[in-house]
Amino acid sequence: MYLYMIICIIGSGGREHAICKKIYQSSKVSKIYCLPGNAGTQQLAENIDLDIDNFEKILKFLKKSRVDLVIVGPEKPLVNGIVDFLEYNGIKVFGPRKIPSQLEGSKTFTKNICKKYNIPTAKFGIFETKEKTINFLNNSKFPIVIKADGLASGKGVYISKNLIEAKEAVKEIFDGKFGKANKILVEEFLNGEEMSFFIVCDGKNYKIFKTAQDHKRVNEGDEGKNTGGMGAYSPSGLINEILEKKIINKIISPTLKAIEDMGEKYKGFLYAGLMISENEPYLIEYNVRMGDPECQTILPLLKTDLIDIFNACCDENLENLNIKWREEKSLCIVLCSMGYPDKFTNNIKIENLNNLKLNNNDFIFHAGTKNEKNEIFSNGGRVLNFVSLSNSFKNSRKRAIKLINQLNWGNGFFRKDIGFKIIDK
Ligand code: AMP
Ligand code: GLY
């Protein structure tokens, strides 16, 4: 039995506010810290302004504050080994260790697993020099996909329509636009519809943690530049029992087997970014965390105490937990700073937030916000997440848009067409 737990959440986005809100509702939690958090988490937790790349300082804080459990939101500290470090120092932590986090940290690590375990994915080649890459591209069909290895916050991916665009992408990657590049990945372009598939895993067993679809492009109609995510909806319209079985058998199970064969265990959320093509799933990429804004979209549907899920994962006891979900349709719209994902201005006041009248099925999760003297200011490209649950995606979207319009933030913009593939078809 767990009681009066002190929890620490690492991260500062909408995902972390959604996690914070959910565990705030748990009767087993007595105190929450967020490192560093945002203006939303500050209403529920104590924000601590610490550099989340400085593991020694984090450890010192956790010990001093007698934290019982740490939840790591973003990928960077996971890929850099925060879980190994904290576990070594006797701290209980939810998230995958450094080696399994390579599933997100290194695209070539994942592609090599796909090859060895026969996991359906785009055909690919890995190249170590500009010349070799361009030689290959000279004989390729277009469009083609070119990716930097390593973490690039979703930005190191080019879909090149012709050789000229492809050469430019190769040049940018090898010139270090996404950090030092020793390798480049060239991939076949997959046609189809994308879907996010989540599991939560305790190292031995796992449970499905719902599906979602997100909108990564900045403009309506899924046009324009890639972003962190402009909105999402859950469940995905593509999922059915047969497809779910294929995803498990062809993608999830062999991946977990690969991690086990390395002598490792996978503990935490695992997010498979899939392309569904004629009812067949192909792996595009793995993320070793919840998606953002998928997390904000999915967690309001969760009925089970999230703290029970985290504890069961850390105790390798997930098998005995029955995760329950609400049946409604959840849709999230992200309100962004004008100019995002390019240049935008921070520190613009957001008035009116407290005047919005939310009902039980409305949720506002903060992302890039900060609180100064009890006033809220923008502090990032993606600022607020408006989530609504209802019996149809159409109604959920209508409600989220209504709330954004009521807020009427002068520096904001958002996509009005989130969910168009399922709502407007
Ligand atoms: P990633 O960072 O690998 O998720 O790629 C970002 C986005 O690029 C994905 O969400 C897809 O929309 C697109 N993408 C990546 N790889 C492919 C591919 N092989 N075929 C088609 N689209 C892709
Ligand atoms: N929504 C995409 C991501 O979290 O990577």
Name the residue of 16, 218, 236, 271 to mutate for ligand 2: max ligand atoms within 8 A of Cβ: 271
Neighbours of 379 (CB within 10 A): 20
Task: Name the closest ligand to CA 157.
Answer: 1
Query: Is there an atom of ligand 2 within 6 Å of 229 CB?
Result: yes
Mean pLDDT in residue range 119-123: 96
| 214 Cα nearest atom in ligand 2 | 1
Which ligand minimizes its atom distance to the CA of 382? 2
**Confidence grade of residue 181 (pLDDT, cut at 50, 70, 90):** confident
Is residue 243's pLDDT more than 90? yes
Give the integer Cα–Cα distance in Å for 298 and 212.
8
- Residue 16 Cβ < 6 Å to ligand 2: no
Taking 70 as the threshold, does the pLDDT of residue 153 lie above it? Answer: no
**For range 128-145, the mean pLDDT:** 91
If you average pLDDT over residues 176-180, what whole number do you get?
A: 84
Distance, CA 293 to ligand 2 centroid (Å)? 7
C-beta 24 within 6 A of ligand 1: no
**DSSP tag of 37:** -
360 secondary structure, DSSP code: T
Pick from 243, 261, 287, 1: which is nearest to 113 by CA?
261
- For CATH 3.30.1490.20, the residue range(s) in the chain are 123-188
Going from the Cα of 132 to the center of ligand 1, the distance in angstroms, rounded, reads 22
Query: Could you say which ligand is closest to the alpha carbon of residue 15?
Result: 2
In angstroms, what is the span from residue 411 Cα to ligand 1's centroid? 30
Please report where in the chains the tokens 């962004």 appear, as a residue.
Answer: 336
Per residue in 383-406, pLDDT tens?
Answer: 999 999 999 999 999 999 999 999
Residue range(s) of every CATH 3.30.470.20 domain in the chain: 193-320
Atom of ligand 2 nearest to the CA of 290: 4
**Structural tokens at position 215:** 């909108």
Of the CA atoms within 13 Å of residue 128, those in its CB half-sphere come to 0
Which residue's CA is the nearest one to ligand 1's atom 4?
285
| Superfamily covering domain 329-423 | Phosphoribosylglycinamide synthetase, C-terminal domain (3.90.600.10)
> Which CATH code fits 123-188?
3.30.1490.20
- CA of 341 relative to ligand 1 center, distance in Å: 17
Rounded distance between C-alpha atoms, residue 351 and residue 349, angstroms = 6
Instruction: Enter the tokens of residue 288.
Output: 């070793």
Ligand 2 midpoint to CA 274 (Å):
12
Q: Which of 387, 327, 384, 335 is nearest to 360 (CA)?
A: 387
* Residue 176 three-state SS: coil
Over range 260-285, report the average pLDDT.
Answer: 97
122 within 8 A of 138, measured Cβ to Cβ: no
Per-residue pLDDT at 107:
87
Distance 391 CA to ligand 1 centre (A): 31
Tens of pLDDT, residue by residue over 281-316, are 999 999 999 999 999 999 999 999 999 999 999 999
Task: Locate CATH 3.90.600.10 in the chain.
Answer: 329-423
Domain 5-95 has CATH 3.40.50.20: yes
Q: Which of 284, 287, 289 to mutate to test the pocket of ligand 1 (most atoms within 8 A of CB)?
A: 284
Q: Cα 173 from chain centroid? A: 23
Rg (CA), the chain: 21
283 in contact with ligand 1, CB cutoff 6 A: no
pLDDT for residue 217: 94
Q: Is the peptide bond before 300 cis (omega within 30 degrees of 0)?
A: no
Q: Out of 145, 283, 421, give the residue to mutate to test ligand 1, the one with the largest number of ligand atoms within 8 Å of its CB.
A: 145
CATH of domain 193-320: 3.30.470.20
CA of 294 to the centre of ligand 2 (A): 7
Question: How many A from CA of 152 to the centre of ligand 2?
Answer: 12
Ligand 2 atom closest to 229 (CA):
1
* Parts of the chain belonging to CATH 3.40.50.20: 5-95
- pLDDT tens figures, 87-118: 999 999 999 999 999 999 998 899 999 999 99
Q: Which ligand 2 atom is the nearest neighbour of the CA of 289?
A: 4
Closest ligand to 146 CA?
1
Name the DSSP class of 257: H
Beta bridge partners of 121: 283
Using a 6 Å cutoff on CB, does residue 110 contact ligand 2? no
Q: How far is the CA of 97 from the centre of ligand 1 (A)?
A: 25
